[in-house]
Structure 1
Amino acid sequence: MSGPSGSGSPEELARELRAKARVAATAALREGLVDIDNRHGQHMADEVVALLDIGDIFDGLVEAGRGTGEDDDEQPYELNTKYEW
């Protein structure tokens, strides 16, 4: 079913695409919060991040079968729900 490493199987490509999407979403959130902090102060950025539903933002970007021990070296990036620098 699954080919050799680097074979470009649909599952591997989907996993890579989800990882890229998580990275892009995390970067966009961080950039947006930095912008809010610069324009309105950290207090406002803290309030904004408290209003975000992080689970909803990343819904659909969770890997199928996660937690099975596969891809231990490819763990997804995590976004802290607390605004930290």
Structure 2
Amino acid sequence: MASMTSPRRMVASALFVVLLLLVASSVCPCCAEMGTTRVAEARHCVSQSHKFVGSCMRKSNCENVCKTEGFPWGECRFHGIVRKCYCKRLC
């Protein structure tokens, strides 16, 4: 009678394989995309908001301020230890 592998060991092995695949696809993205057509992505130009005041905690607040500055998007990013509002548009 063949010995059965414990469920814990099987789960650990499966997680290891998934982790290995994730690492491999991030290290060599071209390997993960073999056989697919690459499409050029549009570049985003980013500028720190001139009107946003204070620490940026909500993306929606940042986006609203950026829209008043003529940008379609905005996002909070760390600038040192402080989160600032950065406005984005297609270049």
Q: Which has the higher contact order (CA 8 A, sep 6+)?
A: 1
TM-score normalized by structure 2?
A: 0.28
Q: TM-score, normalised by structure 1?
A: 0.30
